[in-house]
Structure 1
Amino acid sequence: MLSAICMVGAIICAGLWNARRSLPYNEAGRYFDPVTATVFHEQSVAVFGAIAIALAALAIASVIAIRRF
């Protein structure tokens, strides 16, 4: 169960990373979406990528731990 929850979280974060990595950020590292009136920061791209990798690693580790015991 833990591995499935972690993989869902990893997939969501990876999708956010993929969607935001190619946005045209300005020199201040911000992107304004006029449709939703939302400001996205360039630093969030690295955070979403790191969270996706960490959750995927945790899911893999939990699967390995379950199979050992």
Structure 2
Amino acid sequence: MNNTYKVLSTDMDFLTAALTQVRVSVWHVQDDREALMDYGGPIEEYSPLSIRIMGGRYFRSMYEFRVQK
């Protein structure tokens, strides 16, 4: 199983993910703990404040967004 991933952080990362329609997962990372919040899907919309995936909106400052490599 491939456990390598890329964390999306810049507008260019989100644009690339949206255009290629890759599955983006949403994670809550705090200190040394991380929890999967949503298995995700393709990015439907993004802004400087939030990302919309599969109808759900997630704040960029609160979550980590990952794509499998």
Q: TM-score, normalised by structure 1?
A: 0.25
> Which is richer in strand?
2
> Which is richer in helix?
1
Q: Which has the larger radius of gyration?
A: 1
